[in-house]
Amino acid sequence: MSAPEHLPEIDNGLLRFLTCGSVDDGKSTLIGRLLFDTKTILADTLNAIEKTSAKRGMSAVDLSLLTDGLQAEREQGITIDVAYRYFSTGRRKYIIADAPGHEQYTRNMVTAASTANLAIILIDARRGVLTQTRRHSYLASLVGIPHLVVAVNKMDLVDYDQAVFERIKADYLAFAGKLGIKDVRFIPISALAGDMIVDRGERLSWYDGPTLLDILENAPAAHTEQAEDFRFPVQFVCRPQDSANPALHDYRGFMGRVESGEIAVGDAVTVLPSGASSRVKAIELGAAALPRAIHEQSVTLLLEDEIDISRGDLIVKSAEAPEPVKQIDATVCWLAEAPLSPARTYLVRHTTREVKAKLAKIDYRLDVNTLEHEAASGLAMNDIARVTLKLAQPIVADRYADNRATGAFIIIDESTNNTVGAGMIG
């Protein structure tokens, strides 16, 4: 693998990926190494961490300082909050989420994973597959991350021994088979020394696969792997008030983001949950008129007919309309210190719609270490459970496995307005 400055100018789109695993397995150092070796660190930032490393008596630059941004993190030497970093090579733009390794920060890991399309599961070569390895792998699978890269790190501390790598690979595959994960790739690395990150190095000659950056550069982008139904949650109904401009008197546009699929002028659409139908008269992006809009574009739709549409409604293609539901079965991760109370009413925020909800039942709580199902009457922070929620008003949802935008929701405590849970439908 050559350095990124030698790569051809090919745009493979944005890739959001997550680094996770156990404590002290080198997640922050790996991200620092990626930024350092792709030459995407600003000079003043590099100077700052060089000085900090020198003050601590280190002979080399501590690259983990690039992501451990909080003072508390630096003092403890662990990652607490989710740290996001952005970088770009000649081929692709990246958003990295560095998830905490401690079990008590499971909610942070779920948050970081919810938007990722690839996860790097780090394993310390000296310690092999640990509880947190299994826990984070399960969570990555749960939130629908389609691609996993198992990076066996700190190979420099086991003399780059191929037998160690192969043993860990076999252990992990035995566990991954239970999760049904389809795309898992393995790579031996040393984040500290830089082996197999951006450059191949000279100490892992027995490994003939791609470097980590090669894998990232060629990973499929989200929305490119399967055709998706058109989903457009309405965020705002735009009715300009300008009596001096007659062209705006009858203007009524519906603003939002295309969460999936695409739409073109003339397409037949249905508004849910009302079921009213019309056709797309125009699509606007700022002042520009578009013939069509695709996923992740924020646009304004104008329809041919005057129908009642409000924030929280969902515009879909008429041939792809799901049924509104007032009860959902979902896997929920409880995020709050206050336990889930079956007696309380919560708010469920699904796309741009909010409805009141109550817990109908808990099917089971999951032990993510053993994958066993346990009986439960309530949920504590970091618990993951299969539940049924009853809703005061209908929502229009997809299975999370089919659509991560319209298959996910958050649970809000009405009294504090805090997010207390995250759920995946299906």
Residues 6+ apart with CB under 8 A from 198: 1, 3, 4, 33, 34, 37, 38, 211, 212, 213
Q: Model confidence at 104, in pLDDT bands (50, 70, 90)?
A: low
Q: What are phi and psi of 107, to 5 degrees?
A: -60, -35
Matching CATH number, 14-218, of 3.40.50.300, 3.40.50.2300, 3.40.50.150, 3.40.720.10: 3.40.50.300
13 vs 164, higher pLDDT: 164
340 DSSP 8-state letter: B
- Fold of the domain spanning 231-317: Elongation Factor Tu (Ef-tu); domain 3 (2.40.30)
| pLDDT given at position 409 | 94
Percent of the chain with pLDDT over 90: 53
Q: Which of 269-273, 274-278, 377-381 has the lowest mean pLDDT?
A: 377-381
Place of tokens 């989200």: 222
CA distance 6 to 253: 46
- Fold of the domain spanning 324-425: Elongation Factor Tu (Ef-tu); domain 3 (2.40.30)
**What is the DSSP secondary-structure string of 278-302?**
EEEEEEEETTEEESEEETT-EEEEE
Q: Where are the domains of the chain?
A: 14-218, 231-317, 324-425
| pLDDT given at position 12 | 65
Helix (H/G/I), strand (E/B), else coil: 220: coil
pLDDT tens digits, one per residue of 378-415? 899 888 999 999 999 999 999 998 888 899 999 999 99
Please, which residues bridge with residue 85 across strands? 96
Whether 374 has a pLDDT exceeding 50, the answer reads yes
CB distance 282 to 265 below 8 Å:
yes
Average pLDDT on 37-55 reads 78
Place of tokens 């002042």: 287
* Average of per-residue pLDDT values in the chain: 86
Q: Model confidence at 226, in pLDDT bands (50, 70, 90)?
A: low
Of the candidates 36, 29, 37, 18, which has an alpha carbon nearest to the alpha carbon of residue 124? Answer: 29
Q: Do domains 14-218 and 231-317 have the same CATH topology?
A: no
**What is the DSSP secondary-structure string of 67-91?**
T--SHHHHHHTS--S-EEEEEE-SS
Of the candidates 147, 189, 166, which has an alpha carbon nearest to the alpha carbon of residue 26? Answer: 189
CA distance 237 to 254: 5
Of the candidates 72, 78, 79, which has an alpha carbon nearest to the alpha carbon of residue 98? Answer: 79
Residues 6+ apart with CB under 8 A from 334: 340, 379, 380, 381, 382, 383, 384, 385, 420, 421
Whether 224 has a pLDDT exceeding 70, the answer reads no
Average pLDDT on 301-313 reads 94
340 vs 99, higher pLDDT: 340
Whether 53 has a pLDDT exceeding 90, the answer reads no
